[in-house]
A and B are shown apart, each in its own frame.
Chain A
Amino acid sequence: MMKPKGVGSVLAVALLSACAQLTPPPKKAAPVRINQDPYPSTYHRYPGALTVIRGATVFDGEGGRIDGGTVILADGVIQAVGGTDTAVPAGAYEVDGTGKFVTPGVIDVHSHLGDYPSPGTQSLSDGNEATSPVRAEVWAEHSVWPQDPGFSRALMNGGVTALQVLPGSANLFGGRSVTLKNVPARTVQGMKFPGAPYGLKMACGENPKRVYGSKGQMPQTRMGNVAVTRATWIKAQAYKRKWDKYNKNGGDMPERDLAMDTLMGVLAGKIIVHNHCYRADEMAVMIDVAKEFGYKVGTFHHAVESYKIADLLAANGICSAMWADWWGFKMEAYDGIKENIPLVDKAGACAIVHSDDPNGIQRLNQEAAKALADGRRMGLNISDEHAWTWLSYNPAKALGIADKTGSLKTGKMADVVLWNANPFSTYARPERVWIDGALMYFSGNPRLRPVSDFELGQPGEGDVK
């Protein structure tokens, strides 16, 4: 943990002594750079063969469609996507995609896998540091249990190739999220998506005020929620001013505060805000809070009332991560409607299908299918290939990884699903899933199925699940 910092100090000292010979020593010590990535990803892609999928219907994830398409994967990346005339290198492993569909892997922007794993025992319940409404100092990755069997279900049933694991919503500031590749590993570092920016989980509405209000503590009301949120950003601004000054001029290093480090990252535009918020009026308030303090809301999560302010969300370039049909399980979800996703999409805002659920993550394609059908029923003209943007490209944008994955474009990570039928059909299942070009699941090969340590030696081990 100290090593990177130590290296920085040595460098700083070396610089100082070099300067000393030419000019008088400066009064202030040069600033020490804080390591922004102390728990770096150790994920390395697994080997994959040069593979060509021929004859499938391709949804490219950005709204494009190719019938009878050819997709070529090699060296971990998409080599080519095109029609039947696409040149195929010799020696490629051939996959017949006739009657099948190829899509980018599904990306879930809202998961608690690993933090609230199966089995759901108290001893594994690690998703909410519900000890103070402001807990920006915690990092979801430090709770992730890589042996959660839920990861494998999301892969094999859901075609999920990447996901964001967030802290829960008990707190106004829940902590940092982490984006993972859905590849089993011994450590969370081994799953971390290389180069993905961090996110900050924020929450408005019922949960924080219920959790702390019931303890006789602030916040007890929505106005309390906003007040504590604003007061926290005021502190973060002051913290950032101190560090900006230090980073420019050097001198005595300000005291570090883990929570403020994360909030400073948001104010600096390096950490993306993921704001749990159901109601339209509350989202509008949070948009103004963001403007007041000079940050941007990346995505409103759950967002069951986005349809009421889809124009505002479009104007502010904010994504909505939504369920297809969840409603009413709490008061702030009471006005959920089945056309939320297509109405947000129609307004030109960024629409995302999310799960927040270890079962839902196994069927996100079906959730999108419901929303798509409900949108069409009310007269919206939405194509299948456009609807796939809700499942891969828009989520990738929300996570800041759209330059790396989320669509089938040459040079991007080969995170690909071959479905045995149109994935908007209830009867479709993933047949093969590649992550970075490595075949991680194949329904026809019983050996190509991950089984977590937890399930090893248990009844039903290695079952198809």
Chain B
Amino acid sequence: MIRPLLAALLTAAALPASAQTIAITGGTVALGDGSEPIPGGVVIIRNGRIAAAGLNVGIPQGAEMVDARGKWVTPGIVAGFSRLGLSEIDLGGDGTTDDKANGGPFGAAIDIAPAVNPNSSTIPVNRADGITRAIVAPNVAKSIFAGQGAVIDLGADMEPITRARLFQFVELGETGADTAGGSRASAYVLFRNALKEASELRRYGPAISSAREPTEEIDRPIVRNPNESREYEPDARRSEDVLLTRFDAAALVLVLQGRQYLLIHVERARDILNVLNLKRDYPLLKIVLVGASEGWLVADNIAASRVPVIASAVNDLPSSFEQLAATQSNVGRMRDAGVEVSIGMIDDNDTRFLFNERQYAGNLVALENVPGARGVRWGEALAMITSRPAEALGLGRDLGSLAPGRRADVVIWSGDPLQVSSNAEAVFIDGVQQPMDTRQTKLRERYKDLSRGVLPEAYRR
């Protein structure tokens, strides 16, 4: 149905993406901003951005036309918390996992960006299922600070990073306690000490403007990474009594100043309150809660703090003592209380099963029909896997919805995307139509007919 048109479009894609105007017409359009879907809507992509979307949208002359009648059109899914691109094989695939460094000396200083492999097979598999962006975090190793995470796109090119070092990720619940030597109390002391060391660096480090000018060009520091700031100057004074490496302390300056988001993973209700209380001592922190399985018990506090939550959608098992109150109604109840909730995948196959996010969102919709349970409306459920995670990290004006000016990450689905039976039929990232082939589709084609051929299966491709 749509395929010939898309094939034609693909041919036209020889043009530079930025020069293209694409009009996707006739589909049920969901903007991803929490609103309900619009039948017979139009989406206009121009120069890699959304030009317009909705009803009564004029179609520019010369636009490439994509017929989406009978289809659904939405922003691409934004994987709310993931380790996408960091691991080709999770277990026993030596050399293919880059989510953490147990043997390395650094924590907060770690920058996950160079570890993201755009050629990892996990990228096309998720892209072919409508994931266009992902929030990618490192895992903790020896420090409660896992390091700095990125937002990536899943485009079929070699430049996956949308925003490097957008946030610092820290564990302050059970995992944090474990990493800190065995108790939550220890984790909090480590946390406070780390910020203290960062603040001292800031105070004592000579400002760039006052630093001596290098005489030789070769000595001149080229600061591309905001972390490679004046704190690295060899004469920056530090106390003798330090736990953090200079790099780790320097990385936390941005967190302390509120120039970098701080994603904190906690589950237990009391741990959530502890995290919210950090803002009393560190008012500039831009905290985002991750996990928060018991969030519903303290939903009003979270809402009052205006701290966003990237929650695990349907986590309903007391799988640890910090999640005794886990319930599928958690997200709905937090949302009802006014918490800004989005859906992530922490501790849930976060390296490769991001395509399950739309299933989870659909399950939250299903809860609306279960007496006593609390789900979310369809439009809000879609927003929780598109615009809400982007907003949580301050990127809501750049991506995650079909509002004008957003990056043109657009998916055409065979039907309602929250139905597991629907599939992505076309995926655009920054306005560029993406290939839909994966290792999996090639394996399927090779083995769908097992009758013996004139040559072995290895020759079929």
Enumerate chain A interface residues (CB-CB to B < 8 A): 118-121, 149-150, 153, 157, 206, 210, 307-311, 325-331, 334-339, 343, 347, 358-359, 362-363, 366, 369-370, 372-374, 377-378, 420, 424-429, 443-444, 446, 454-455, 458-460, 463-465
Other A-B pairs, 16, CB within 8 Å; known A328-B121, A343-B447, A465-B326: A120-B319, A149-B318, A307-B447, A325-B355, A329-B349, A330-B90, A338-B440, A339-B444, A347-B450, A366-B363, A370-B420, A427-B365, A429-B367, A429-B369, A444-B371, A454-B318
Residues in B whose Cβ lies below 8 Å from that of A336: 440
Residues in B whose Cβ lies below 8 Å from that of A459: 269, 294, 297, 324-325
Flag if B372 contacts A464 (CB, 8 Å): yes
Flag if A426 contacts B450 (CB, 8 Å): no
Flag if A465 contacts B443 (CB, 8 Å): no
Q: Is B454 part of the binding interface, using a Cβ–Cβ cutoff of 8 Å?
A: no
Q: Shortest beta-carbon distance, A211 to chain B, in Å? A: 11
Q: Shortest beta-carbon distance, A339 to chain B, in Å? A: 5
The secondary structure that dominates the B interface is: loop
Q: Shortest beta-carbon distance, A432 to chain B, in Å? A: 12
Partner of A463, one of B89, B325, B367: B325
- Per-residue CB contact flags for chain B residues 356-385 toward chain A (1 = under 8 Å, else 0) read 000100110111011111000000000000
User: Which residue on chain B has the smallest CB distance to residue A425?
Assistant: B419
Partner of A458, one of B318, B365, B440: B318
Flag if A427 contacts B317 (CB, 8 Å): no
Bound: A347/B447 CA distance, A = 12
A–B Cβ pairs within 8 angstroms, 9 of them? A118-B317, A331-B93, A366-B420, A373-B420, A426-B365, A428-B366, A443-B370, A446-B371, A465-B326
Q: Is B91 part of the binding interface, using a Cβ–Cβ cutoff of 8 Å?
A: yes
Flag if A369 contacts B319 (CB, 8 Å): no
Bound: A41/B369 CA distance, A = 37
Q: Is B148 part of the binding interface, using a Cβ–Cβ cutoff of 8 Å?
A: no
User: Which residue on chain B has the smallest CB distance to residue A463?
Assistant: B327
Bound: A434/B420 CA distance, A = 26
Q: Is B459 part of the binding interface, using a Cβ–Cβ cutoff of 8 Å?
A: no
Flag if A369 contacts B420 (CB, 8 Å): yes
Flag if A464 contacts B444 (CB, 8 Å): no
Q: Output the residue of A121, A458, A464 with the most chain B CB within 10 A.
A: A464
Bound: A330/B94 CA distance, A = 10
Bound: A358/B371 CA distance, A = 23
Flag if B421 contacts A369 (CB, 8 Å): yes
Residues in B whose Cβ lies below 8 Å from that of A149: 317-318
Partner of B423, one of A373, A444, A446: A373
Flag if A328 contacts B352 (CB, 8 Å): yes
User: Which residue on chain B has the smallest CB distance to residue A449?
Assistant: B372
Q: Is B329 part of the binding interface, using a Cβ–Cβ cutoff of 8 Å?
A: yes
Q: Is B320 part of the binding interface, using a Cβ–Cβ cutoff of 8 Å?
A: yes
Residues in A whose Cβ lies below 8 Å from that of B359: 363, 366, 370, 426
Residues in A whose Cβ lies below 8 Å from that of B352: 327-329
Flag if B419 contacts A330 (CB, 8 Å): no
Residues in A whose Cβ lies below 8 Å from that of B351: 329
Residues in A whose Cβ lies below 8 Å from that of B88: 328
Residues in A whose Cβ lies below 8 Å from that of B447: 307-308, 343
